[in-house]
Structure 1
């Protein structure tokens, strides 16, 4: 069974269904929440960005793994 939640356009995975959009919104909301949380505990801009970039890479990695395994497959005729 192939799940068709995402489609790949170049190196970006775009949502192709409602579930894909929900996953994208959850990932973006979690990234914003993480940024606000890190910013509230940081003492400088560089401290905030250094800690946020690592978390953003992890969020992007999880999103990409989910999208990779649920992308719409190409038909082989």
Structure 2
């Protein structure tokens, strides 16, 4: 079964189907939730930014891994 949830444009993976958009929205909503949660517990701006950047990188890594394995590969000259 071939999954075509994302397409690659340069170094960015863009959603290409409804499932791709749902995964993108879930990642974005979780990033916003993590930001609000970290902001409510931080006393300094630097604490909040350091913790959020780490969480944002983990969210981006998870999104990239899912997108890499479910991307629509371009048809090459030798593909059947």
> Normalized against structure 2, the TM-score is what?
0.93
Match of 1:29 in 2: 29
Unaligned runs of 5+ in 1: none
The residue aligned with 1:6 is: 6
In structure 1, C-alpha distance between the alignment counterparts of 2:53 and 2:36, rounded to whole Å: 13
Q: Secondary structure at the match of 1:72?
A: coil
TM-score (structure 1 length as normaliser): 0.96
Larger Rg, first or second structure (1 or 2): 2
Q: After superposition, give the CA deviation of every residue in 1:4-58 in whole Å (9 maximum; x if it has no partner).
A: 0000000000000000000000000000000000000000111100000000000
Give the ranges of 4+ consecutive aligned residues of structure 1 lying more than 6 Å apart after TM superposition.
Answer: none
* Number of equivalent positions: 77
